[in-house]
Amino acid sequence: MLNEAKPRWTRRKDARPQELLSAALALFVEHGFAATRLDEVARRAGVSKGTLYLYFENKEELFKAVIRATIVPNIEQSEQLMSSFKGSTAELFREVIGRWCEQINTANMAGICKLMFAEASNFPELAQFYHTEVIARNEQMLIKLLQRGVDEGEFRELDLTVMPKIITAPIVMFMLWCNSFNACESHPVVFADYVDSYLSTMLTGLMKNK
Amino acid sequence: MLNEAKPRWTRRKDARPQELLSAALALFVEHGFAATRLDEVARRAGVSKGTLYLYFENKEELFKAVIRATIVPNIEQSEQLMSSFKGSTAELFREVIGRWCEQINTANMAGICKLMFAEASNFPELAQFYHTEVIARNEQMLIKLLQRGVDEGEFRELDLTVMPKIITAPIVMFMLWCNSFNACESHPVVFADYVDSYLSTMLTGLMKNK
Amino acid sequence: MLNEAKPRWTRRKDARPQELLSAALALFVEHGFAATRLDEVARRAGVSKGTLYLYFENKEELFKAVIRATIVPNIEQSEQLMSSFKGSTAELFREVIGRWCEQINTANMAGICKLMFAEASNFPELAQFYHTEVIARNEQMLIKLLQRGVDEGEFRELDLTVMPKIITAPIVMFMLWCNSFNACESHPVVFADYVDSYLSTMLTGLMKNK
Amino acid sequence: MLNEAKPRWTRRKDARPQELLSAALALFVEHGFAATRLDEVARRAGVSKGTLYLYFENKEELFKAVIRATIVPNIEQSEQLMSSFKGSTAELFREVIGRWCEQINTANMAGICKLMFAEASNFPELAQFYHTEVIARNEQMLIKLLQRGVDEGEFRELDLTVMPKIITAPIVMFMLWCNSFNACESHPVVFADYVDSYLSTMLTGLMKNK
DNA sequence: GATGAATGAGTATTCATTCAT
DNA sequence: GATGAATGAATACTCATTCAT
């Protein structure tokens, strides 16, 4: 029919913010904050530049929104697991790490993580937000987990002020790795093998020698 | 004679490049590549903007020069240590890590490291350079070290394709930490405690259970 | 009957244009043409931005409509006064000026006046319109008035090509003053005193010395 | 010769600011603050857009600089005349106005004046500056002048709180006129005639009736 | 070598205008 | 009629880079 020509734009009020956030996330992760052009964010989301400003006050607010929208939903899962788990602490540890690894693929956790480390010094306010909402909560959870292992005689005595960071490091590093040097490797790391070795080494290091 | 008075600027022209690199390093670390203004680099080095271009073709070349100049001097030390060390592998491991930690403070290793992770995707060529010259060489050395431990019956059987990354992660993470979230903590980590716990946990995890 | 309930909006559609013009007038006077945002005009009139375009083709047409709508009603009054007045010309002069002063408060004459002077060079077509419909007519009337004074021996010989402007100036200046520098004065002018001094000085200047 | 080709730019550090101010003045007067594009200011001054920002922080600062540079030099002249004049106050009055009229042509006083009235409400800070530096000083001077006339029995009793504005109005109006409606007139006003009638009417209005 | 004035392409942001609902 | 989401041209401002001195 004659009037099949596609309209110049269509009303998408509800879907728009999410589409914009996805586009922005991808580009922020790829290029960093400063090098990401709003032009391109808009183009990737299939809208005009002006439309961005209907939903986000400016580039910085867009950045914050991206971080918030992507992080927050993924925090509580681990906390719930912690409080309900029956079984040995070693098994719980394997379970927590396992869940976490899943999020790397599904939620672009790796991308956000890299982004936050790269831009933290430029956005102190946002760094604080991330630290409070993600890092600190995560460490609290790990402290409880380790304490449980110690209390039940499974783990050695541990310095709980530093152990959460030490334990977490290999996983976080892997996330950063994905967005930085993985492409440089002739034989990229097999994640499953990496996690296996990590778990066995780390648990051996934590557990009481019998 | 009259003109014995010292010239208005004796500026050893040999020192210039190094002063520029130092200023640039500090600013790149603080703000990232894109957000660092050459104006400010020049000002901090006490020269005019134009002078920068006498020494570096453009901003990107300056960035590369910064990375190269800061990295290269710090690699070979560990390699030499490896080949000459007499003693148990555990002791060697402690020694290697100890040396490494010193460099964090002296050579702004932490800053470069953060910079490389943040900008690797924007500078693939440089990421490759860093990977070859630093990461890969370092991993080679760690592989030798671990192999030595395994061969002498000190360490368990290990997957040498992934263990270097796992072992290194807590130290690298600490370097990144310094430039990103450390300021967010009410009680910043005590590095010495961190390294102690790291070494004991990691070595316990590596060593054969007797 | 069921549908007797009053409709959600009875909004006399005839009132709309006037509401829009009022809102626009206020904002144009306050910010000038360029700095007035249609968004704000719409908001102040309590309608959506799109609605503006149902009534006015574009910003420029809106501006023109504002000027026309506000000016036209206020011109003829003085003309009628002129042709019917019995009494001395000095009294007539006082009467004309008095009426004019009333309009300053009632019809935002001051606002329009400032607006016209500020934007005349950007809207030559409109300046022409204003000149023909307001300024020239007003001067014609003043010429008749002055001529009457001269003819009856009340006023001195006068150069009627320039006197209307000279006579009008203090009143027009006052109107501009209200929208520009009045706020800067520690003791704002008392209008009544201003008009008194103006009338006595000006009439003394016009009248034949006996 | 071969290298006669004109350079891409030449160093003009000293002349530049004045050239930029001239270009900006002309355009601000013609189009008002908001409608003046910095692109065009730069083009008219024969420089690039960026050069503007070497000399003025932003558009607003440029505007302020234009006003200051043009006004300030023209204020003191009248003040000096006042304090040194020997002769009747009527003659002094004619002299002051005469000097003022000269500035209209030489210094684009008319342009600035229109500009200030048009933008005063958008730039309260600047309006205050203009009020203090120009308007108030001018009124002070006129108050002294009128007082002198009264004291010496030349002028009638006058309300000195309003007379300066009334006296000034026709001259200021003329300045505004030049930039707004003069082009609309079929027979533009002859300034000399205008001033003659103004002086004789106003002086007659001021002087004591004998 | 060293300078810093000048450049101009590039980018975030605004806002008058359109049009599907 | 009325809406407000979407548009995109326009513009202030930045900053890497050049080059006459």
Say if residue A69's pLDDT is above 50: yes
Residues contacting D14, CB < 8 A, separation 6+ = none
Q: Which nucleotides of F are covered by protein (CB under 7 A)?
A: 1-21
* pLDDT band (50, 70, 90) for residue B108: confident
* pLDDT band (50, 70, 90) for residue B195: very high
Q: What is the mean pLDDT of residues D7-16?
A: 67
The answer to whether the Cβ–Cβ distance between C159 and D193 falls below 8 Å is yes
Distance A2 CA to E17 C1' (A): 26
B43 is near strand E: CB distance < 7 Å: no
**A129 & A106 share domain:** yes
DSSP assignment, residue D72?
A: G
The H or E element spanning position D45 is helix D38-45
Residue D86: count other Cβ atoms within 10 Å of its Cβ.
Answer: 6
- What is the domain count for chain B? 2
User: Phi and psi (nearest 5°) for B35?
Assistant: -85, 0
Q: Provide the percentage of residues in chain D whose pLDDT is more than 90.
A: 65
Q: Which residues of B touch A32 (CB under 8 A)?
A: 32-34, 118-119, 122
Q: Which residues of D touch C174 (CB under 8 A)?
A: 165, 169
Q: Which residues of B touch A177 (CB under 8 A)?
A: 165
Give a yes or no: residue C3 inside a domain: no
pLDDT for residue B104: 82
Say if residue B11's pLDDT is above 70: no
pLDDT for residue D9: 61
Q: Using the CA of D12, which nucleotide's C1' is the nearest one?
A: E5
- Final residue of a domain: which of B69, B93, B123? B69
pLDDT, one tens digit per residue, over D82-132 is 888 999 999 999 999 998 888 887 778 889 999 999 999 888 888 999 999
A124/chain B closest Cα distance in angstroms: 8
Lowest-confidence region among A89-98, C70-79, C185-194, D133-142: C70-79
* pLDDT band (50, 70, 90) for residue A9: low
In order, the DSSP letters of A84-130 are H--S-HHHHHHHHHHHHHHHHHHS-HHHHHHHHHHHTTT-HHHHHHH
pLDDT for residue A63: 94
pLDDT for residue D130: 92
Q: Which of A67, A69, A68, A78 is nearest to A112 (CA)?
A: A67
Residues contacting C202, CB < 8 A, separation 6+ = C167, C170, D201, D205
The answer to whether the Cβ–Cβ distance between A209 and B204 falls below 8 Å is yes
Say if residue A12's pLDDT is above 70: no
**D55 & D138 share domain:** no
Mean pLDDT across chain A, nearest whole number?
89
pLDDT, one tens digit per residue, over B152-170 is 999 999 999 999 999 999 9
Q: Provide the percentage of residues in chain A whose pLDDT is more than 70.
A: 93
**D121 & D192 share domain:** yes
D201 is near strand F: CB distance < 7 Å: no
pLDDT for residue C72: 73
Residues contacting C7, CB < 8 A, separation 6+ = none
D30/chain C closest Cα distance in angstroms: 7
DSSP assignment, residue B120?
A: G
Say if residue D210's pLDDT is above 90: no
Q: What is the mean pLDDT of residues B28-44?
A: 94
* pLDDT band (50, 70, 90) for residue D7: low
Q: Which of A3-17, A185-199, C58-72 has the highest mean pLDDT?
A: A185-199
**A87 & A153 share domain:** yes
B59 is near strand F: CB distance < 7 Å: yes
- Final residue of a domain: which of A69, A93, A110? A69
Lowest-confidence region among A157-161, C56-60, D6-10: D6-10
A131/chain B closest Cα distance in angstroms: 7
Q: What angle do CA B176, B177, B180 make, to 5 degrees?
A: 90
Say if residue B9's pLDDT is above 70: no
Beta carbons of C114 and C175 less than 8 angstroms apart: yes
CATH number of the domain within which C164 lies: 1.10.357
B49/chain A closest Cα distance in angstroms: 22
Give a yes or no: residue C168 inside a domain: yes
Say if residue D138's pLDDT is above 70: yes
CA dist B118 and B126 (Å) reads 12
Beta carbons of B194 and A165 less than 8 angstroms apart: yes
**D91 & D50 share domain:** no
**B172 & B201 share domain:** yes
Lowest-confidence region among B23-32, B103-112, C175-184, D154-163: B103-112
CA dist B60 and A2 (Å) reads 54
pLDDT, one tens digit per residue, over B170-185 is 999 999 998 899 899 9
**C37 & C95 share domain:** no
Q: What residues make up the domain containing C170?
A: 75-206
* pLDDT band (50, 70, 90) for residue A3: very low
**N-to-C CA span, chain B:** 82
pLDDT for residue B36: 95
Distance A62 CA to E10 C1' (A): 21
Beta carbons of D93 and D145 less than 8 angstroms apart: yes
* pLDDT band (50, 70, 90) for residue A13: low
Say if residue B4's pLDDT is above 50: no
pLDDT for residue B209: 74
pLDDT, one tens digit per residue, over C122-163 is 888 889 988 998 899 999 999 999 999 999 999 999 999 999
pLDDT for residue D3: 41
CA dist D175 and D74 (Å) reads 15
**A184 & A115 share domain:** yes
Q: Provide the percentage of residues in chain D whose pLDDT is more than 70.
A: 93
Say if residue D36's pLDDT is above 50: yes
Q: What is the mean pLDDT of residues C167-192?
A: 92
Tell me which amino acid residue B135 is. I
Query: Nearest CA to the C1' of F13 belongs to which residue?
Result: D58
Say if residue D6's pLDDT is above 70: no
Say if residue A146's pLDDT is above 90: yes
* pLDDT band (50, 70, 90) for residue A7: low
In chain A, whose CA is at the least distance from the CA of B173?
Answer: A169
- Final residue of a domain: which of A69, A87, A112? A69
Say if residue C105's pLDDT is above 90: no
Q: Which of B67-76, B130-139, C105-114 has the highest mean pLDDT?
A: B130-139
CA dist B62 and B25 (Å) reads 9
pLDDT for residue B199: 96
CA dist C166 and D191 (Å) reads 12
B49 is near strand E: CB distance < 7 Å: yes
Higher-confidence residue of C12 and A136: namely A136
Residues contacting B195, CB < 8 A, separation 6+ = B97, B101
**D115 & D164 share domain:** yes
Q: In this structure, which long-range contacts are made by residues C48-55, counting pairs with CB atoms below 8 Å and at least 24 apart in sequence? A: C51/C16, C52/C20, C55/C16, C55/C17, C55/C20
- D197 → closest Cβ in C166, C180, C189: C166
**B170 & B86 share domain:** yes
* pLDDT band (50, 70, 90) for residue C79: confident
CATH number of the domain within which C45 lies: 1.10.10.60
In chain A, whose CA is at the least distance from the CA of B176?
Answer: A117
- The answer, yes or no, to whether A and B have at least 3 beta-carbon pairs within 8 Å is yes
**A196 & A109 share domain:** yes
Mean pLDDT across chain B, nearest whole number?
88
pLDDT for residue C78: 78
Q: What is the mean pLDDT of residues A189-196?
A: 93
The answer to whether the Cβ–Cβ distance between C159 and D206 falls below 8 Å is no
pLDDT for residue A104: 84
pLDDT for residue B15: 72
Burial class of residue A145 (count of CB atoms within 10 Å of its CB; 0-12, 13-18, 19+): buried
Lowest-confidence region among A4-13, A53-62, D28-37: A4-13
* pLDDT band (50, 70, 90) for residue A108: confident
Give a yes or no: residue C2 inside a domain: no
3-state helix, strand, coil in chain B (%, to 5): 75, 0, 25
**D114 & D48 share domain:** no
The answer to whether the Cβ–Cβ distance between A193 and B135 falls below 8 Å is no
